[in-house]
């Protein structure tokens, strides 16, 4: 099993979600995050111009069986990009165990 974490633009969330559904990834968790990056956003407040490198993104956490991993990653890569700096990152890691709480079942079948 793999955990695929993707940090993407909030504005790309909808297309990424559709792309994941299209390859059969139907459940995952996400949350909004603030991070620091190379990109700077310019603002003005009451006559004071300032820029911030605090950037709002959406963090997706997807756990899939090994045979789904590549398709999942491709789905994100093909849907989340704009070509500009700040499109985000994908991190892949191994998952050792996995349980379904309702039935106490263990293993990859719980992800189906």
Q: Which two tokens stand for residue 109?
A: 């079948």
36 near other proteins (CB under 8 A): no
Sign of CA dihedral 100, 101, 103, 104: positive
Residue 16's alpha-carbon distances to 8, 60, 71, 90, 95, in angstroms, are 9, 10, 13, 13, 23
Min dist. Cβ of residue 48 to other proteins (A): 4
10 near other proteins (CB under 8 A): no
49 near other proteins (CB under 8 A): yes
47 near other proteins (CB under 8 A): yes
Question: Binding residues for other proteins, how many (CB under 8 A)?
Answer: 8
Min dist. Cβ of residue 40 to other proteins (A): 14
């Amino acid at each position: 099993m793999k955990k695929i974490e993707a940090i993407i633009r909030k504005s790309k969330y909808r297309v990424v979600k559709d792309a994941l559904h299209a390859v059969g990834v139907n459940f995952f968790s996400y949350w909004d995050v603030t991070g620091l990056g190379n990109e700077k956003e310019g603002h003005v407040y009451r006559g004071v111009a300032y820029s911030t490198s605090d950037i709002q993104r959406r963090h997706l956490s997807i756990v899939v069986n090994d045979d789904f991993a590549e398709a999942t990653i491709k789905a994100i890569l093909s849907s989340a990009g704009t070509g500009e700096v700040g499109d985000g990152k994908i991190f892949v890691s191994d998952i050792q165990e996995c349980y379904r709480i309702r039935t106490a079942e263990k293993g990859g079948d719980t992800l189906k």
